[in-house]
């Protein structure tokens, strides 16, 4: 099969950013699959309409903490709750390529980024600040239900916060090799220090000799099912699209989606609107 890059703008994003995906992939064509997925995610992080990098949501305490990860067969790198950088995915790549570690978190991640030459950057935008103010006011007046997601659903229904389209991601198969990359600003509302699926290998991202998978949706639910590894482990069992459909069906309405590539297939599935774009070359 030929080379392919597949990207997504997050499940639940109502398709409003689909046009932005169309102009990204042409800039990401490379003979190196890791270079292709990282460049794709960098461009998504730089677009303030996506919830990753610039435009990341603000947490309950007023901070912005971001997660990102990259993976190739046999290697992985992630940053967890990193602050004040423009492109977390580039720092994650440096963790993989320039350290003996697989993940660096919090202040340690920020210090590492500075040593690697990443400048101080505020990813907050006017839109995210306005949404933060609305979210804080609504939380003060919200009544907590028995369901742990009751407050989030109430805020979404009232239009105060957006659905948790918390991840942008990319997978690639180029010259028979695979790579994956993901980045997120999280899901609103969330506490400081919260970690979702993105920087957890096998949860929000997985890549091996059979293919590459990344996920999007409610990170806690994705992580509990190790969604990406479950999909990866089943590659070759049946059609890739069928595998994704069956795995997403387990979420019973809790927001989730995934994109994946194998040696001869490409697939994407979600239980909500998930803008995607694909480049074959």
Active site residues: 167
> Of 173, 168, 182, which is closest to residue 281 (Cα–Cα)?
173
Q: In degrees to the nearest 10, what's the CA dihedral of 47, 93, 65, 166?
A: 50
Burial zone of 74 (CB within 10 Å; 0-12 exposed, 13-18 middle, 19+ buried): exposed
Q: Give me the sign of the Cα torsion angle 135, 138, 144, 149.
A: negative
Q: What distance in Å separates the CA atoms of residue 192 and residue 179, rounded to the nearest whole number?
A: 30
Cβ neighbours of 49 (radius 10 Å) = 15
For residue 199, which of 55, 93, 100 has the smallest C-alpha distance? 93
Q: Dihedral of the CA atoms 68, 219, 128, 59 (nearest 10)?
A: -90
Asked if 173 contacts 261 with a C-beta cutoff of 8 angstroms, the reply is: yes
Q: Which of 263, 147, 239, 164 is nearest to 204 (CA)?
A: 164
Residues sharing a CB contact under 8 Å with residue 169, sequence separation 6 or more, in sequence order: 7, 8, 41, 180, 181, 182, 183, 204, 205, 214, 215, 216, 259
- DSSP classification of residue 142: P
At a CB cut-off of 8 Å and minimum separation 6, what does 126 contact?
none
Q: Which residues on adjacent β-strands are paired with residue 173? A: 4, 178
């Amino acid at each position: 099969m030929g080379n392919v890059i597949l990207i997504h703008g997050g499940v639940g994003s109502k398709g409003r950013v689909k046009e932005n995906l169309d102009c990204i992939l042409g800039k990401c064509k490379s003979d190196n699959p890791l270079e292709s997925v990282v460049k794709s995610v960098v461009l998504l992080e730089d677009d303030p309409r996506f919830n990753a990098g610039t435009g990341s949501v603000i947490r309950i305490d007023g901070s912005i903490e971001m997660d990102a990860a990259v993976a190739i067969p046999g290697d992985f790198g992630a940053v967890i709750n990193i602050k004040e950088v423009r492109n977390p995915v580039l720092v994650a790549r440096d963790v993989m390529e320039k350290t003996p570690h697989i993940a660096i978190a919090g202040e340690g991640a920020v210090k590492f980024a500075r040593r690697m030459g990443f400048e101080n950057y505020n990813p907050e935008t006017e839109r995210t600040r306005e949404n933060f103010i609305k979210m804080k006011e609504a939380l003060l007046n919200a009544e907590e239900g028995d369901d742990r997601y009751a407050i989030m659903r109430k805020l979404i229904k009232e239009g105060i916060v957006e659905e948790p389209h918390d991840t942008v991601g990319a997978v690639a198969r180029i010259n028979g090799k695979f790579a994956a990359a993901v980045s997120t600003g999280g899901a609103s509302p969330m506490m400081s220090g919260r970690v979702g699926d993105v920087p957890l290998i096998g949860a929000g991202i997985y890549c091996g000799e059979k293919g590459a998978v990344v996920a999007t949706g409610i990170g806690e639910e994705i992580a509990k099912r190790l969604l990406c590894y479950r999909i990866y482990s089943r590659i070759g069992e049946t059609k890739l699209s069928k595998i994704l459909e069956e795995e997403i069906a387990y979420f019973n309405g809790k927001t989730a989606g995934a994109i994946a590539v194998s040696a001869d297939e490409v697939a994407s599935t979600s239980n909500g609107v998930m803008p995607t774009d694909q480049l074959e070359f």
